[in-house]
A and B are shown apart, each in its own frame.
Chain A
Amino acid sequence: MTRPMAEESKPHAMVSMYLTLMRTSIITQFQYRAATYFYMIGMIVEPVIYLVVWSTIARSHGGSVQGFTPGTFAAYYIVWMLVRNVNIVFAPFFWEWRIKEGNFASQLLKPVHPIHYDLGEFAGGKVVVIILWLPIALALALVFHPSLDPSVLQCVVFFFAIWGAYLIRSLVLWALGLITFWTTRASAIYEAYFLSELLLSGRLVPMQLMPKWAQQLSWAFPFRWTFAFPITSLTGPITQRELLEGLAMQSLWIGVGTLLVAMVWRRAVARFSSVGG
């Protein structure tokens, strides 16, 4: 940022900052496409395991479990891959490294909240991930024959839901990672968080296959709005009412996340002291 902020209107400056961050991160990620592809291949395996296990079960039960056929499972888990890759954000584990390396101190001196840098950089990375995902999705579609037939409304909602999921996870995990300012032994807390997420988000299985109580419990957490909702908004089955309900719940969690980040950040940064590096 060469010009002082005051010269431009603030929203305009923010937009151009985001665009610059995204552009830089797209270029960086493309330079390391081999590494990014490695990473994505590792990521394919998880949904393929779930997909194979559940299609095997569906087939051995006359073609479907709880209304899911091998085709709908395939659609669910192929879209799962995209949603998962988009909702990977700055992980709480890395806060320790970030603080220790000392390069975080310089971010504090800049006139914008440091979360904007993460949001912008990671969002740029997503563009690359989406492009790299397309051939993988095509290959998986040829192998597993997904049955996917979304309406126009579903496609529109999906577009917003996937970025809503990105925002919710960014905000909540950022706030969680700030625990590092108090203790560096929080990894067990993070693990417990990710385990609850795995079980209550629709990441392991579609929500419909979980016990009733778990489905109800999932309403108390942000998890299902960052996995199950964006996925089913495209693959269905989902009603128009559920689509709107989902978007509303996402907005609610974006609000909660923003509030959390704002509150915890103020306290956390007061504890920060830099060591010369």
Chain B
Amino acid sequence: MQGRDPHRTGAARLALTFLRVGVMNEVQYRVNFFIQLVQSLLTIATGLTALALVFSQTDDLGGWTRPQLLAVMGVFTIVGGMIRSVIQPNMQRVVEDVREGRLDFALTKPADAQVLVSVRDVRLWQLTDVGVGLIVLVIALIQIGDGVGWQAIVAFVGILAIGLVAIYCFWLMLASASFWLVRMNEVQELFDGVYRAGQYPVGIYPGWLKYGLTFLVPLAFAVTVPSEAVTGRLTWQAVTVAGATTVVLLALSRWFWQRGLRRYGGASS
């Protein structure tokens, strides 16, 4: 089952409507904000402790200074919050729906199925991570002290967006795998585990892992490259590779999703 390509404005309006309903739904549970905030603070405390332990033994890690790594941690936390608020909940719902046979409800609606399953859920309170991450990033930039120009900020936001799209594509492919593999509960653990690797710049990892974290799981584009943008390390090559890979991933993930959907049609009860 596959819809025609969505009309551009149609997709955007659909996303906004779902976002509004999702936010309205979330603000009902205001206590969750505080729970989530405590959780964000504990997570960042862990990260800071790990950094403190590292820098109690050394002054530089693979060419990155302490404030620079702090900036990476800020970006890592921001991106993690975005993923957990808008990407992950939707993709996990796809996995559950495929298993429970409820995906039909999404497929029978008169909109592109991929757009629809990608905007159904939002976890508003996970955005506390974005706030906490921003604070850490700002502190890090003050510590670096070079002053960040507006070009760097624009580059940062642009590359961050590209990186998030890349992560979305990766998650869509993971979720599509549930058309073949029935039990995918562990897939979130898999992603969370791998995502942790982003808290350090991928350059410090050995080659196989570095390339894995760039092209297999596009973490480098979501965390490391944006961090390079705000710490004055950005190269044109990195931007080009990030852009090109994301375009390829967009096409690939859509293809994979549609192949999976065809299989779903054949197997539904």
A interface, CB within 8 angstroms of B: 32, 34-36, 38-39, 41-46, 48-49, 52-53, 56-57, 60-61, 65-66, 143, 185, 187-188, 191-192, 195, 198-199, 204-205, 209-211
The smallest C-beta distance from B212 to any residue of chain A, in angstroms, reads: 10
Residues on B with beta carbons closer than 8 Å to the beta carbon of A61:
57-58
When the two chains form their complex, are residues A38 and B209 in contact, meaning their CB atoms are under 8 A apart? no
B56 beta carbon closer than 8 Å to chain A: yes
When the two chains form their complex, are residues A195 and B193 in contact, meaning their CB atoms are under 8 A apart? no
Q: What is the interface residue range for chain B against chain A?
A: 35 or more
When the two chains form their complex, are residues A192 and B42 in contact, meaning their CB atoms are under 8 A apart? yes
Say yes or no: A38-B199 contact (C-beta < 8 A), given A61-B58, A187-B35, A209-B57.
no
Residues on B with beta carbons closer than 8 Å to the beta carbon of A38:
184, 186-187, 189-190
The smallest C-beta distance from A77 to any residue of chain B, in angstroms, reads: 14
B interface, CB within 8 angstroms of A: 31, 35, 38-39, 42, 45-46, 49-50, 53-54, 56-58, 60-62, 181, 183-187, 189-194, 196-197, 199-200, 204-206, 208-209
When the two chains form their complex, are residues A53 and B61 in contact, meaning their CB atoms are under 8 A apart? yes
Residues on A with beta carbons closer than 8 Å to the beta carbon of B45:
195
Residues on B with beta carbons closer than 8 Å to the beta carbon of A49:
196-197, 199-200
- Label chain B's interface by main secondary structure: helix
Residues on A with beta carbons closer than 8 Å to the beta carbon of B205:
52
Q: Report the separation of the CA atoms of residues A32 and B187 in the bound assembly, to the nearest whole angstrom.
A: 13
Q: Which one, B38, B53, B181, B183, contacts A205 given CB within 8 A?
A: B53
Q: Report the separation of the CA atoms of residues A44 and B31 in the bound assembly, to the nearest whole angstrom.
A: 35
Residues on B with beta carbons closer than 8 Å to the beta carbon of A41:
190, 193-194
Residues on B with beta carbons closer than 8 Å to the beta carbon of A46:
193, 196
Q: Report the separation of the CA atoms of residues A246 and B200 in the bound assembly, to the nearest whole angstrom.
A: 34
Q: Report the separation of the CA atoms of residues A187 and B185 in the bound assembly, to the nearest whole angstrom.
A: 20
When the two chains form their complex, are residues A44 and B193 in contact, meaning their CB atoms are under 8 A apart? yes
Q: Which one, A42, A143, A185, A192, contacts B190 given CB within 8 A?
A: A42
Besides the known contacts A38-B184, A43-B189, 11 further A-B residue pairs in the complex with CB atoms under 8 A apart: A43-B193, A52-B209, A53-B200, A187-B35, A187-B39, A188-B38, A191-B38, A195-B46, A205-B53, A209-B57, A210-B53
